Amino acid sequence: MAMIKEYETVIGLEVHVELATKTKIFCGCSTAFGGAPNTHTCPVCTGMPGTLPVLNKQVLEYAIAVGLATGCDITRYGKFDRKNYFYPDNPQNYQISQLYLPICRNGGIEIETQEGGRKTVGIHEIHMEEDAGKLIHDEWDECSLVDYNRSGVPLIEIVSEPDMRDAKEVIAYLEKLRLLIQYLGASDCKLQEGSMRADVNLSVREVGQKAFGTRTEMKNLNSFKAITRAIEGERERQIDLIEAGEAIIQETRRWDDAKGISYAMRSKEDAQDYRYFPDPDLAPIVVSDEMLAKIRAKQPEFRTEKMARYREEYGIPDYDIDIITSAKRMADLFEETVAICHQPKKVSNWLMGETMRLMKEKEIDAQDLHFSPQNLAKLIALTDSKAINGNVAKEVFEVMFDQDIEPEQYVEEHGLRTVNDAGALKKAIEEVIAGNPQSVEDYKNGKEKALGFLVGQTMKAMKGKAEPAMVNQILKEFLS
Amino acid sequence: MANVITDETIEYVGILAKLELSKEEQEQAKKDMGRMLDYIDKLGELDTEGIEPMSHVFPVQNVFREDSIVNSDTREEFLANAPEQKDGMFVVPKTF
């Protein structure tokens, strides 16, 4: 009987992050998403002969800021290189990138492992480069169409060491990296929209073996779920090949998440020989002490520091702090709303409860939350003053979540204000009592539940616009 | 000529450059490339120990631009260069 071998997965990531600059990396074209095709282009980003690229300073500053936040050494003398290849998405026939002297090197990110321990995933390097255009495959004709709006959009590529061993570690690393970059404001890092893209380099080896196996690179992973599935699928595929005595080919594969399988992307005829050489159009970059100090001084408060401050300043539970600081946008909303209404626990409750619920239900990323702190503070004030009850508040919040409406105005327009007219309430209660003799009887015989039913009927008669506590109290008075 | 370019090399370079060369063109290219490499070998005779490779011809560094939008939509102008266009985009042979 053959021995069952145990395999270890070895994973390294190449993460591309689209930087949140207003303009492209080498020209003054807008990076705005969703413009009509080719309307954000110029001779530079469409590779016209004789044009001169000039580096966007903000790109360099963001790249350095990410490097500092991940403990990298910043390269003091750097330059750009040309990566040569022919493809219609690349009008220059080369991509401007950094091979020889990337801006950052030798960093790392600490993650929590499954066993509750900690480990550092090394960062080999971070380099700056330009994005390519977008190819659209024409459905009617045998041709493709090219939109160069994305050509020249600034990217940083963060190359990890092969330090991860399973999908959980990969996700932990990506989440940490994403949060850090969001806190820096260097990118919104949305996987679905492609502002953060992760390519997975994976190989397997027998447990105990020192040498790495042959690795493959997996592309087209646009959610954490797809990444997890691709890692598990590729691990199995490689183990099957090894067990069958076949060789693993070093290749780039494309993950098809709908089918749950991957395909080899490039064939052997497509030689991958990029013939890198220094780009003579771009001046070398010298990072001075002064420049570095300036960027360092601008580094924001990161999650760990923020958590400590929340504990100190707001006195909300650790559980709340953990969730609120898990997305930059959420933390910003929290702080800005508390600054207006000074009620940290109430703000936290709205974020942890209804906000999280609706985010899950509507599949919305925290970075896309768009209700304003002003409106959330107003909603809290409306409930505090008992102008609306809890259920109505939730109803209003849901509309606010979608459209950021002004809650006071909305409540007035829709007549949602709690009826404080004791006469109207008493009249409604009298009618409910008259209409439900059995429940009244039950309550008088000691059935507490019957009271709940009567409260419910009254709330219904009041169209939800009464204060349940008040209804409760008046009902009890009537029935005693 | 000290450097001899093989058929495999010229074919490989042809693939990289996306060029289809005829037999005659291949022979000519082999000769040209051999001569170029001879010239590079000549340069290689110089002692460059301790000298940083030059990447820029002028002694300039840190040429940056501010992150502000200065370009406007010039789509029509540059699409005019396209042999074929559709829906505001360049038409290229089908890629996958």
| One-letter amino acid of A122 | G
List the single residue in B62, B67, B89 with the smallest CB-CB distance to A21.
B67
- A23-60 pLDDT, tens digit per residue, is 999 999 999 988 999 999 999 999 999 999 999 999 99
Strand boundaries in B1-96, DSSP class E: 64-65, 85-86, 89-93
B-proximal residues of A, 55-94, CB under 8 Å = 55-60, 79, 84, 86-88
- Residue A267 is predicted with a pLDDT of 54
Show residues of chain B in contact with A23, CB under 8 Å.
Answer: 67-70
Residue A352 has pLDDT above 70, yes or no: yes
- Residue A268 is predicted with a pLDDT of 46
The alpha carbons of chain A give a radius of gyration, in whole angstroms, of: 29
Residues in chain B: 96
Q: What is the mean pLDDT of residues B53-68?
A: 90
Judge residue A337's burial from the number of C-beta atoms within 10 Å of its C-beta, 0-12 exposed, 13-18 middle, 19 or more buried.
buried
Average pLDDT, chain A: 91
Q: What is the mean pLDDT of residues B18-27?
A: 92
Q: A266 falls in which pLDDT band (50, 70, 90)?
A: low
Residue A249, number of CB atoms within 10 A of its CB: 11
Q: Which residue reads 């469409």 in tokens?
A: A46
Instruction: Give 3-state DSSP helix, strand, coil % of chain B, rounded to 5.
Output: 40, 10, 50
Residue A322, number of CB atoms within 10 A of its CB: 12
Cβ contact A86–B66 (<8 Å): no
Query: Mutating which of B52, B57, B63, B77 best tests the A interface, going by the most A Cβ atoms within 10 A?
Result: B63
Cβ contact B92–A38 (<8 Å): no
ipTM of the prediction: 0.90
Cα-flanking dihedrals φ and ψ of residue B71, to 5°?
A: -100, 145
- A134-169 pLDDT, tens digit per residue, is 999 887 888 999 999 999 999 999 999 999 999 999
Q: What is the mean pLDDT of residues A457-479?
A: 82
List the single residue in B53, B56, B71 with the smallest CB-CB distance to A42.
B71
- Residue A232 is predicted with a pLDDT of 95
Residue A9 has pLDDT above 70, yes or no: yes
Most confident of A79-83, A415-419, B52-56: A79-83
Going from the C-alpha of A288 to that of each of A54, A59, A103, the distances in angstroms are 19, 16, 13
> Rounded to a whole number, what is the distance in Å from the CA of A330 to chain B's nearest CA?
27
Show residues of chain A in contact with B55, CB under 8 Å.
Answer: 79, 278-280, 284
Residue A341, number of CB atoms within 10 A of its CB: 18
Show residues of chain A in contact with B12, CB under 8 Å.
Answer: 271
Residue A317 has pLDDT above 70, yes or no: yes
List the single residue in A29, A38, A271 with the smallest CB-CB distance to B12.
A271
> Any CB–CB contact under 8 A between A137 and chain B?
yes
List the single residue in A39, A143, A273 with the smallest CB-CB distance to B91.
A143
A7-11, A205-209, A252-256, A474-478: which has the minimum mean pLDDT? A474-478
Query: Mutating which of A144, A151, A220 best tests the B interface, going by the most B Cβ atoms within 10 A?
Result: A144
Residue A250, number of CB atoms within 10 A of its CB: 12
Residue A480 has pLDDT above 80, yes or no: no
- Residue B70 is predicted with a pLDDT of 94
Q: What is the mean pLDDT of residues A352-364?
A: 93
What is the C-alpha to C-alpha distance for residues A300 and A186, in angstroms, rounded to an integer?
11
- Residue A372 is predicted with a pLDDT of 95
Show residues of chain B in contact with A269, CB under 8 Å.
Answer: 15
B-proximal residues of A, 23-52, CB under 8 Å = 23, 27-30, 36-43, 46, 48
> Any CB–CB contact under 8 A between A289 and chain B?
no
- B31-57 pLDDT, tens digit per residue, is 999 999 999 999 999 999 998 887 788
- Residue A271 is predicted with a pLDDT of 57
Residue A348 has pLDDT above 60, yes or no: yes
Going from the C-alpha of A409 to that of each of A413, A466, A467, the distances in angstroms are 6, 19, 20
Question: Taking the C-alpha atoms of A324, A330, A334 and A336 in order, what is their torsion angle to the nearest 10 degrees?
Answer: 150
Cβ contact B63–A282 (<8 Å): yes
Q: What is the mean pLDDT of residues A286-299?
A: 96
Return the structure tokens found at A114: 């499954």
Show residues of chain B in contact with A285, CB under 8 Å.
Answer: 61-62
- Residue A25 is predicted with a pLDDT of 98
- Residue A270 is predicted with a pLDDT of 59
